[in-house]
Structure 1
Amino acid sequence: MSENEKKRALTYVEKLKEKALQQKNYGGEVKKEDAGMDARDCPNCGAGRAFRHGLTACAYCGFVFMEIKLTDGIHIKKGNNS
């Protein structure tokens, strides 16, 4: 850079560019992670469903992913209706 370029006043756009480069994120650094999908395909019909804990049956064909049987627990009993 020559002396004239160093002494020259910055334009408004150049000042904005400098501020943008010096600016920091308000929420801190951004963590980079790979994109992913939480999906489960039905082995019977192939329909895709969003994976949720407790998903027991396919909504399209009725295939049962897991059987749930309630048993007596520590605090809740099968025969206790109160």
Structure 2
Amino acid sequence: MEKPLSLVARMKQNALAQKREVFEERQAGMNTTTCPNCGAGRTKDDGITRCAYCGFEFISRKLTDGIHITDNDNSK
């Protein structure tokens, strides 16, 4: 009669039996840009219309009312 596997042994067995994804090696990078006025860093995808440090206006568009956006400055 065979002794049942311990919890740790079963966990190891499950880990080895799992399907693994292909490892993709790529160069590290950052998705940032700097303020042209003061040089402060900001992410490209954060949706900020003004620089938090000097107030430089990155995006100057006429906003209209929508579901989640109002016609005033939504970056505050």
Gaps of 5+ in 2: 1-15, 72-76
Structure-2-length-normalised TM-score: 0.52
Q: Name the CA shift for 1:30/1:64 in 2 (closer, same or farther; >3 Å).
A: same
Q: Name the CA shift for 1:31/1:45 in 2 (closer, same or farther; >3 Å).
A: same
Task: Select 1:31's aligned residue among 21, 24, 30.
Answer: 24
Structure-1-length-normalised TM-score: 0.49
- Give the length in aligned residue pairs: 52
Q: Percent identity?
A: 48
For the aligned residues, what is the CA RMSD? Answer: 2.7
SS in 2 for 1:49: strand
Alignment of 1:1-82 (within 5 A): 26-71=19-64
Higher relative contact order (CA 8 A, sep 6+): 2
Q: Name the CA shift for 1:60/1:24 in 2 (closer, same or farther; >3 Å).
A: farther
- How far residue 27 of structure 1 moved from its aligned partner, in angstroms, is 2.7
Structure ranking higher in helix proportion: 1
Q: Which amino acid is 2:58 matched to?
A: F
Tell me the alpha carbon deviations over residues 16-71 of structure 1, each in whole angstroms, 9 at most, x when there is no partner. xxxxxxx7984322111111101110000000112215221100000001112125
> What is the alpha-carbon distance in structure 2 between the residues aligned to residue 72 and residue 61 of structure 1?
27
Gaps of 5+ in 1: 1-22
